[in-house]
Chain A
Amino acid sequence: MTDEIVAYKTVKESEVDTWHKVATVEDFPSDGGVCVEYKGLQVAVFNFSRRSEWYATQNLCPHKKQMILSRGMLGSDGDEPKVACPFHKQTFSLKNGNNLNGEHCALATYPVKVEAGQVYVGFKN
Chain B
Amino acid sequence: MEQIIVIGNGMVGYKFCEKLRSKAAKGQFSVKVFGEEPHPAYDRVHLSEYFSNRSVADLEMAPRSWYVENDVELITGELIVSIDRNNKKVTSHTGLEASYDKLVLATGSSAFVPPIKGSEMQGVFVYRTIEDLEAIIAYGKTSKKAAVLGGGLLGLEAAKAMLDLNQETHVIEFAPRLMPRQLDQTGSDALKDKMEALGINIHMSRNTASILGEESMTGLEFTDGELLAADMLVISCGIKPRDELAAQSGLEIGQRGGIVVNDSLQTTDPDIYAIGECALHKNFIYGLVAPGYEMADVVVDQLLDSGDKVFQSYDMSTKLKLIGVDVASFGDALCENTPHKPIIFEDKLEGVYKRINISEDGKKLLGGILVGDAEAYNMLLQVTLNGMALPPNPEDLILGSRGGESMEMELPDTAQICSCENVTKGDICKSIVEQNLESVADVKTCTKAGTGCGACSPMVTDIFDIQLKSMGKTVKKVLCEHFDYSRQELFDLIKVKGIKSYNELLDTHGYGDGCEVCKPAVASLMASIWNELILNQDTIQDTNDRFLANIQKGGSYSVVPRIPGGEITPDKLIVIGQVAKKYDLYTKITGGQRIDLFGATVNQLPDIWEELIDAGFESGHAYGKSLRTVKSCVGSSWCRYGLHDSVSFAIEIEERYRGLRSPHKLKSAVSGCRRECAEALSKDFGIIATDLGWNLYVCGNGGANPQHAQLLAGDIDSETCKKFIDRFLMFYIKTAEPLNRTATWLNKLDGGMEYLKQVVVEDSLGVAADLEREMEFMVDTYKCEWKEVVNNPELRRKFSHFVNTEIPDPTMQFEDFRGQKKPVDWDKNLVESK
Residues of A whose CB lies within 8 Å of any CB of B are 1-2, 5-6, 8-10, 22-23, 27-32, 34-37, 42, 45, 48, 50-51, 58, 60, 62, 64-68, 71-79, 81-82, 84, 86-87, 89, 91, 104-108
Contact = CB atoms under 8 A, between A and B. Distances in A.
B135 interface: no
A29 B539 contact: yes
B569 interface: no
B539 A34 contact: no
A67 B826 CA distance: 11
Nearest to A83: B516
A86 B807 CA distance: 21
Contacts of A86: 542-543, 551
Contacts of A64: 826
Contact of B804 (A10, A36, A73, A76): A36
List the 5 shortest-distance A-B pairs measured between CB atoms, nearest first: A32-B539, A75-B515, A86-B543, A84-B516, A8-B833
Majority DSSP secondary structure for residues of A touching B: mixed
Contacts of B553: 66
Contacts of B551: 68, 86-87
Contact of B802 (A1, A35, A58, A74): A35
Contacts of A104: 832
26 contacts: A6-B833, A8-B833, A22-B803, A23-B804, A31-B539, A37-B804, A37-B805, A50-B513, A50-B514, A60-B830, A60-B833, A66-B554, A73-B519, A73-B540, A73-B543, A74-B539, A75-B514, A76-B513, A76-B514, A76-B515, A82-B515, A86-B543, A104-B832, A105-B833, A108-B833, A108-B834
A37 B802 contact: yes
A4 to B, nearest CB: 8
A115 B826 CA distance: 39
Contacts of B492: none
B803 A23 contact: yes
Contacts of B813: 1
B1 interface: no
Contacts of B539: 29-32, 73-74
A73 B834 CA distance: 23
B interface SS class:
loop
B798 A29 contact: yes
A103 B503 CA distance: 31
B811 interface: yes
Specify which of A2, A29, A65, A78 lies most central, judged by the most chain B CB atoms within 10 Å of its CB. A65
B801 interface: yes
Given A35-B801, A73-B539, A6 B831 contact: yes
A106 to B, nearest CB: 8
B18 interface: no
A48 B512 CA distance: 12
A35 B515 CA distance: 20
A10 B833 CA distance: 9
B518 to A, nearest CB: 8
A87 to B, nearest CB: 7
Among A34, A62, A66, A78, max chain B CB count under 10 A is at A66
Given A67-B811, A71-B546, A50 B803 contact: no
A75 B481 CA distance: 11
B809 A67 contact: yes
A27 B803 contact: yes
Interface in B792-834: 798, 801-805, 807, 809-813, 826-827, 829-834
A104 B543 CA distance: 21
A45 B803 CA distance: 10
Interface in B10-46: none
Contacts of A58: 833
A34 B554 CA distance: 17
